[in-house]
Structure 1
Amino acid sequence: MARERHLAFRLYSSHVRMAGLDIAIHPMIISFVLVFVLAVALTLHARKGHDMADPRAFFAARGQLGTLLYFMLAVGETYSIGTVLGFPAGIAAHGTMVALWFVGYILLAFPVGYVLYPRLWEAGRRTGAITLPDLFRSHFGSRALERLVTCILLVLMLPLGAMQFIGLSDVMAHLAPAVPTMAATGAAGAVTFGFVLVAGLRAPATVAILKDALMLCTIAAVAASAGLHWTHATSGSMQAAFGQNHPISARDLCFVISTIMVQSVAFCIAPQSAAAVFSARDPASIRRAQIAMPLYMVLFPLLFLIAGFAVTHGIGPANNAFLGSANLLLPDWAFGIVLAATALTAIVWLGAVCLSIAALVARNLFPGLDRDVQKRVGLTTIAGYLVLSILGAAFRNSLLTDLNTLFYLALVQLVPSVLALVRNQRPSVPSVMLGLAGGLSVAMLLRSASWTTYGVNPGLIGVLVNAAILRVTGRVATSN
């Protein structure tokens, strides 16, 4: 019955008169466009009263975001299209173990951020930093270390944009299947660039309000519809779909727990997370936002239910679990809103990440540029990053996947020196560089050689080696 009703909805379309012509406009297209018109209006409102020519206002909102806007920006970076599409897809493809580590690392990141972010903000305010490499340069007094950290972050961020455009290509395939994928994702990239150009960091922070409201409502609507239309004539049971082929071993649990530890801490020092922290008005705003963030965890049981519906009702492939279920269960106009909310989820994330990468290039890779040149270099960097991400999504291959898995593995190696920084301790610059080199080498060697290490995440072993090198070789002297 659900499939028959869905087909009946597909036969309906709206007709409007334009220049004497009878033009059919699909309800799905109408609702999608209306959502984006509203997003454009919010972006234009966000720039009022703010000087977007000022690089600090453009890249970091001049550190003026209060609790609400900081909260929306931080949430927008936490729940990307990888959550909305990737979480149910991962469960549909690999079972319940995916849910364990995915939910675990996000949940643990909130208390880690509650403790770390205010200290990071205070260090940034003390040094005038708006990027993580700014802090390294100011605290350790080394341009070489600043550039090293910048290069590490830039390399790690390259594949993440492609992952967002892979999700956007799935959205556009439902919205306009006749449009070539490259053209559709190119249009999404142009929209992202336009949002950022108009209002800088305030654009993703403001549009995130609309995105989050729609995301929560649409996921709840799809989950409710899945529950209401759950039939006994399914292609398999939940237990059979998600049952493990073998018992969970101690090695499996060790890997999950160590991965949760690595990713929760590394997430808090990602370039976009640091940029969001520096944009906050004060530490109290950050703490209030962190307290409220676990409320968003309600998304995961709803997405789990949707994944179960997709698996048991034969909706495939796995990466189509969310959109395929929504397409089957909802009327066209509602499905258009689902597509718009999913697209905005990627665009908000891309906007914040583009700005953090632009700041890394304009301020840290090429320091000393005047403010006009900084913004021009930043915009050029954003355009280049979007183009590379679109190409990466179009020519997705195993290299892209491998680079993505290295993100947290390598990013966590910055944690020992960041902890020293926020505690106002000063290891020597050679010790910091040696620790980074040692941690990265060990983590990469363990991963590439596929050595078991009893299931412990190679990134955790690398960061322990990194910290040990800092302890042994560095003369840690607390600054007055």
Structure 2
Amino acid sequence: MTLALTLGIVLATMIGAMLYGHQKSKAKTVTEWAVGGRRFGTLIFWFLNAGEIYTTFAVLGISGYAWAYGAPAYLAFTSVSLAATLGYWLMPRIWQAGRQGGFITQADFFAARYKATWLGCLVGLAGIAAIVVYVQIQITALSLILRLTLGTEVSVTAAAIIAAGIMLAFVYVAGLRSAAFAAGVKDVLMIVLVVGLSATVAGKVGASSILDVFARVQDQHPGIGVFPGLVPEAGLTVTWMMTAALNVALGTWIFPHMFQLCYAAGSRKAIRRNAVLQPIYSLSFFFIILLGFGALLAGVSPPGGDVNAALLQFVSDAYPAWMIGLLAGTACLLALVPGSVLLLTAGSIFSRNVVIPLKPDLSDRASLLVSRLSMVGFAAVAVWLTIGATSSLVEIGLAAYAAIGMLAPGVFLAFLWPRANAIGVAAGIGAGYAALLLPSAQSLWAALLPGWDRGLVAMGVNAFVAIIAVLLTTWGRAEEGGR
């Protein structure tokens, strides 16, 4: 029954998404395929953006973090609300720039704003790298679900390959519109699932109420509700939480696929309504963390101590087959929707900002084909990263945010400082990656700024170097302008 219900949910959603995408558009151009013809209204835009909150990172990752670490899972509350506040200011500006310039990708924006095709290519490659890491999250989670439903005899490698294949099939035909339809289905199912599990979790762990679950877990695991949580040696302190939440908030709208979602909106009003209402979704994390604590009270022991599988194992141990199937099917959609949008975005960037500058006469039809085929390669890299990986979904997610944060100064300077130029932005990106990736730099930050999220530190270095480089490269012109 579990397998049948899981397959039923996924297949019905995929068929409905493809039919919806074809009914609304044949997706014969990159513009229609990648940004939905720039006609998404408030409702469809809401579901697509919500798809970026209700992902496997949020549900399986945060519940698993609560199970393993406790209070550090509160990161979800702060980061979502901060991101929405920043989005109210930033997203309409991205939308306006995309509408005026006819942009499809984030790299289009960089190339046009800084008048440098080479910078668009550099930013595009950096964005693709961050996207592939983020796709790894979705493939990791989808692999877990496949092994839950098909059995552990399915190898990790086979599960990852199957997961990537399903994701590619999901988005290949109809593009962004198919993902929008599936996002709506996923959100409805997720609400039903979270409500159902939260209403029954107390009875499954011998508690009298939801509040009693929190009381009991505090009694059995003193300190779980305060920082640094259950594993002090992990370094997940209040300082880590504040800096990580700020880094996630600053990086949320910098992901290339979020740029394309902004371009897809039909109006500025649709974007701002979304930003005002979106923080409501952060309330759901109370119940997701509750489920993680419930799994801890139940003594759940996922295979290999896998943090990402804590919720799946809890439901598998304590609930009937139909509930397991509902969770597995819904969790598949949690991975498929954002994963497919991420691959779509990577393909769009590759064709427009890497291939076309080398072959300017490429037709729109050929560009669409290149976009679709390149997705297969990016999915293969994500599968390779998934095999043998042991990090939690939250840790992988923070690594992706750290990587994409290297583009954040360039975006904010574009809207805040007319003097900013391509050389300054590129210098900042180079310095930021050095600060993020070099072992010697990491040791330095650990000594100077203990407990700080390394992505935020690297972003700060990036911004500082970019500003200095802009000042140095425009000094003479600024003096001439003042005479």
**Interval containing the TM-score (normalised by the shorter chain):** 0.7 to 0.9
Aligned length: 450
TM-score (norm 2): 0.86
Alignment partner, residue 74 of structure 1: 49
Contact 1:43 1:207 (8 Å CA) reproduced:
no
Deviation per CA, 1:254-299: give whole Å up to 9, x if none. Answer: 2221221111111111111111111111111111112221222232
Q: 1:384 to 1:288 in 2, by over 3 A?
A: same
TM-score (norm 1): 0.86
CA separation in 2, counterparts of 1:254 and 1:184? 37
User: Residue in 2 aligned with 1:5?
Assistant: none
**Aligned-residue CA RMSD in angstroms?**
2.8
1:129 has 2:109 as partner: no
Structure 1 residues 424 and 162, CA, compared in 2 at 3 Å: closer, same or farther? same
Q: 300, 305, 310: which one pairs with 1:315?
A: 300
Match of 1:427 in 2: 420
Is the CA contact (8 Å cut-off) linking 2:111 and 2:120 kept in structure 1? yes
Q: Could you say which residue in structure 1 is the equivalent of 2:337? A: 348
How far apart are the structure 2 equivalents of 1:334 and 1:195? 24
Mean Cα displacement is larger for which, 407-416 or 282-291? Answer: 407-416
Structure 2 gaps, min length 5: 479-483
**Shift, 1:378, TM fit:** 0.9
Pairwise CA distance, 1:425 = 1.6
Task: Give the equivalent residue in structure 2 for 1:217.
Answer: 192
458, 462, 468: which one aligns with 1:472? 468
The reply on whether 1:241 has 2:221 as its aligned counterpart is: yes
Q: CA deviation at 1:462?
A: 3.1
Moved over 4 A (4+): 244-251, 397-405, 475-478
Q: CA deviation at 1:37?
A: 3.3
Say whether 1:441 aligns with 2:441: no
**Residues 1:46 and 2:31 are matched in the alignment:** no
Cα distance change on mapping 1:473 and 1:292 into 2, 3 Å: same
Match of 1:273 among 243, 246, 258: 258
Q: Deviations over 1:176-215 (max 9, x none)?
A: 1044444444333222222212211111111111111111
Tell me if the contact between 2:57 and 2:393 (Cα under 8 Å) persists in the aligned partners.
Answer: no
State yes or no: 1:157 paired with 2:146.
no
Distance 2:12 2:92 in 1: 33
CA distance in 2, matches of 1:336, 1:302: 20
Unpaired runs of 5+ residues, structure 1, are: 1-26
CA distance, structure 2, for counterparts of residue 94 and residue 149 of structure 1: 35
* Aligned mate of 1:141, from 110, 115, 136: 115
Distance, in Å, in 2 between the alignment partners of 1:52 and 1:247 is 49
| 29-38 or 284-293, larger mean C-alpha shift | 29-38
Identify the match of residue 193 of structure 1 among 168, 174, 180.
168
Change (3 A) 1:310 1:244: closer
Change (3 A) 1:63 1:255: same
Deviates more, 1:203-212 or 1:464-473: 464-473
Q: Check whether the contact 1:156–1:403 (CA below 8 A) recurs between aligned residues.
A: no
Q: Which amino acid aligns with 2:44?
A: L
Deviation of residue 404 (structure 1)? Answer: 5.7
2:9 maps to 35
Change (3 A) 1:322 1:244: closer
Distance in 1 between the 2:183 and 2:225 partners? Answer: 40
Change (3 A) 1:232 1:125: closer
Equivalent of 1:285, from 255, 270, 276? 270
Distance 1:262 1:288 in 2: 24
The yes-or-no answer on 1:208 pairing with 2:183 is yes
1:50 shift after superposition: 1.0
Query: Shift of the alpha carbon at 1:388?
Result: 2.4
Identify the match of residue 459 of structure 2 among 459, 463, 468: 463
Deviations 1:383-406 (A, max 9, x none): 122222223323326799987654
